[in-house]
Amino acid sequence: MPNTASALSSMTGFGEARGESDRLAVAVEVRTINSRHYKLSLRASEGYGALEPEIDAAIRSRFRRGTVQMNLRVSRLNQADDYQINADVLQGYHQQLVEIGVEGAAVPLDSLLQLPGVVIEQGAASVDPRAVWPAIEPVVLEAVDAVCDMRLREGLALADDLAANCRIIEEQLGGIEQRAPNVTTSYRERLTERVNKAMSELNVTVEPSDLLREVALFADRSDISEEVVRLRSHIKQFNAALADPGISGKKLEFIAQEMGRETNTIGSKANDTEISKHVVEIKTALERIREQVQNVE
């Protein structure tokens, strides 16, 4: 059996991370779902959607396919220099107080500071998101690492299930190989029985050579040896692929498709009830494989 300890990665996963610097609090959530191609879908705090190219460049190498849904929340931590007193506005308020006979000293300073326009707050809009990307990137990568770990754990379960279904196919193919040599013999016996019955009822004769020729034609039409060899080869390829760290779901899907093709041919050529039962079991296992490989990266 192949060693599947690190070969497969699922396309579904979740990860999150948080971080804080002198000025920013960053929270990142990442979900990945099935998709035939890689795609990044980013939702970010206002102004930080501009970082999508940087985020894409940082994580693209981690995901070969699947939709990556990322939620990026960035909050500024207030600093003293985020607030500035507008001296002109404050001077204007003071002048108006003097004009109406109110001494500035008689008005508490905190009351003056609450007047419109006296204090200017430097909001998030004044921040260049690319300037703070070095503080955001490590949090993004931590969340992505968590997703990758989860995808690998799910990949282990996928590999085990795929290998189990491949063993079922191999076992059923063994039953087909065991039965195949007897198919022609069984057909000859049935044909001889029908011919003898017809001869006794209709009083006709059949040349032994004609009977042998019919049996030979059937044997040629029902020969599945090549299909069995190819199917066994595909099984070996599938098991080898499961152990390949660089394997993709697309390749597994292709091999499973080829296995299905050979199985269908065996079923149609063999024309045998017992072999048909094995074929049904193989098709059932292949259907489970096809469903599972849709989730392999």
Give the burial class of 225: count Cβ atoms within 10 A of its Cβ; 0-12 exposed, 13-18 middle, 19 or more buried.
exposed
In the listed set 68, 101, 121, which residue is the last one of a domain according to the structure? 121
| Helix/strand/coil (H/E/C) assignment for every residue in the chain | CCCCCCCCCECCEEEEEEEECCCEEEEEEEEEECCCCEEEEEEECCCHHHHHHHHHHHHHHHCCCEEEEEEEEEEECCCHHHEEECHHHHHHHHHHHHHCCCCHHHCCHHHHHCCCCCEEECCHHHCCHHHHHHHHHHHHHHHHHHHHHHHHHHHHHHHHHHHHHHHHHHHHHHHHHHHHHHHHHHHHHHHHHHHHHHHHHHCCCCCHHHHHHHHHHHHHHCCCHHHHHHHHHHHHHHHHHHCCCCCCHHHHHHHHHHHHHHHHHHHHHHCCHHHHHHHHHHHHHHHHHHHHHCCEC
Q: Same domain for 186 and 229?
A: yes
Q: What is the pLDDT of residue 88?
A: 75
User: What predicted TM-score, i.e. pTM, was given to this entire model?
Assistant: 0.66
Q: Same domain for 175 and 289?
A: yes
Print the domain residue range for 210: 153-293
Relative to beta strand 24-33, strand 13-20 is antiparallel
Write the CATH number for 31. 3.30.230
Q: What is the pLDDT of residue 184?
A: 56
Residue whose C-alpha is closest to residue 262's, from 237, 221, 232: 232
User: Does residue 1 form part of some domain?
Assistant: no
Q: Same domain for 99 and 67?
A: no
Q: What is the pLDDT of residue 211?
A: 54
Q: What is the pLDDT of residue 142?
A: 97
User: Does residue 7 form part of some domain?
Assistant: no
Q: What is the pLDDT of residue 208?
A: 61
Q: Same domain for 104 and 169?
A: no
User: Does residue 87 form part of some domain?
Assistant: yes
Number of domains in the chain: 3
Write the CATH number for 224. 1.20.120
CA 264 to chain centre: 28
User: Does residue 21 form part of some domain?
Assistant: yes
Q: Same domain for 145 and 206?
A: no
Structure tokens that stand for 249 in this block: 């779901």
User: Does residue 59 form part of some domain?
Assistant: yes
Q: What is the pLDDT of residue 99?
A: 73
Q: Same domain for 171 and 276?
A: yes
Q: What is the pLDDT of residue 145?
A: 96
Q: Same domain for 136 and 176?
A: no
Which residues of the chain are modeled with pLDDT < 70? 1-7, 77-83, 101-109, 112-113, 118-127, 183-222
Q: Same domain for 204 and 257?
A: yes
